[in-house]
Structure 1
């Protein structure tokens, strides 16, 4: 509508239009205020949570979760599954002889690893011996003691040879020559368990409890004082009385001073038990259990343990004692009891030979 002077006329909005406009404006203003209020409230909530030390509900930051183990630490000490110890003990029940663990136990190594470690240990020990003994003044075949020296001198004099008294290998050198053997028997199982297994604790059972010390020592001492005499009472009825301790006496006869006596106990009371238990009961026994029942795996590992000592006269005692050590390991699910039993068994033998205590 135009006025006569061609100027547009002012349109006056109706009351309805004014009401609708006010409604839309208030709605937009409410939305903006709500958004601003929501942001401000969220900021206030976060600030209050930071000040109080708590975390807001909802998404949890990465720092809240415990850091995961990576690298070598994760391989050596992986998280243990719930009830892992129970499985080891229950699987060796007395009723069924313990079912075989089977190949799907997480280990990616088997009997080949046992042979690799064994021959590597023998090779290293042989190399060390060949590098040290031939060029030295010591003779491994020399008889120890005054009687041995006199007998050697008389034999040389009667045969027209120059009298030269051979010196036996001293105990400090014998101890050093054992280190390559022990090192391989310990490092080999540790490497396989860490790199191709579930870790040294899960694979080898390398752990102990406080009660393992008295329990293991008591069983080891009792085995030496009771089992061995009873066993050889039967054996001697069959083959006649013989000197079972001849091999061990060749070692203890060289202990003529306090240092050498200490070295005897280092060899028989620390080095041999630790290395042999990690290898025979920690590594070999579980691998055998993957193929046969627990009772046969215990017997197989005990026979392997006895045979590798290369002492036929001591084989029966080592076999029976190996069975005892295997039962301790399977029943407890760890090496602690067997290790301390091995210590007690060897220490009693060393004491009896050093101080001429007759056991049987």
Structure 2
């Protein structure tokens, strides 16, 4: 994670001292799609590489981080909990914006459809919905939670790793939601004995979250709502 942070900071410093932020963001009100894609691809790539090297060094296989068979019922429960958790987080987000209106900017979509090309949007969706959930589950549940759980009580390991997972999302509203969702995902991981239900829950959650952010921007949705 330190390596990811260092490379990300180095990238932004390069932008600052080369083309400049104004040219890089091109007047957009959101993060450029290319930056979002770069950051997600970088994070996933680093996690998979570092974990693969660590497993090989320890003489372990990917089962050590939870890639084990699981019963079908956990697939359905993972999807159900992801949807339930998403609905709860929507209510929580609306409440937070009501209490702290200045947080409204933090709930905006990560990018604007009108400002994003089809290839960039496809890469962003693929990384957000499929690649990033796997990478984050491998690191935060398969490694970090397991590491804490081997040294501290299970409940404390769940809280600490969830707080760290939430903090990694940086944006306040997202950080709180991610920390709460992490507790649900940890339950799936521990109860099923496999990381796959956690991954399925994470993928479903991201699919609903990104759809809720991007779908309202479409002309079809705006015509229905009168927007």
The TM-score, its normalising length taken from structure 1, stands at: 0.52
Shift of 1:321: 0.5
CA deviation map 1:219-243 (0-9, x unaligned): 222211x211333455456x33454
**How far apart, CA to CA, are the structure 1 residues paired with 2:150 and 2:16?**
41
Instruction: Name the counterpart of 1:300.
Output: 160
Instruction: Name the counterpart of 1:273.
Output: 133
Instruction: Name the counterpart of 2:195.
Output: 335
Match of 1:347 among 199, 207, 219: 207
**Root-mean-square deviation (Å):** 3.1
Match of 1:199 among 61, 68, 83: 61
Matched ranges for 1:102-251 at <5 A: 118-131=1-14, 134-136=17-19, 139=22, 141-144=25-28, 170-172=32-34, 174-196=36-58, 198-201=60-63, 203-209=64-70, 211=72, 212-224=74-86, 226-232=87-93, 235=96, 239-243=99-103, 246=106, 249-251=109-111
CA deviation map 1:149-200 (0-9, x unaligned): xxxxxxxxxxxxxxxxxxx875245423433322112222232233126432
**How far apart, CA to CA, are the structure 1 residues paired with 2:156 and 2:59?**
23
**Residue ranges of structure 1 left out of the alignment (5+ in a row):** 1-117, 149-167
**How far apart, CA to CA, are the structure 1 residues paired with 2:180 and 2:202?**
13
Return closer, same or farther for 1:244/1:299 CA change in 2, 3 Å cut-off.
Answer: farther
**Alignment: residue pair count:** 216
**How far apart, CA to CA, are the structure 2 residues paired with 1:123 and 1:287?**
24
Match of 1:326 among 166, 186, 189: 186
Greater RCO, CA 8 A, separation 6+: 2
Return closer, same or farther for 1:223/1:245 CA change in 2, 3 Å cut-off.
Answer: farther
Shift of 1:307: 0.8
Hey, which of these two has a bigger chunk of helix by percent? Answer: 2
The TM-score, its normalising length taken from structure 2, stands at: 0.78
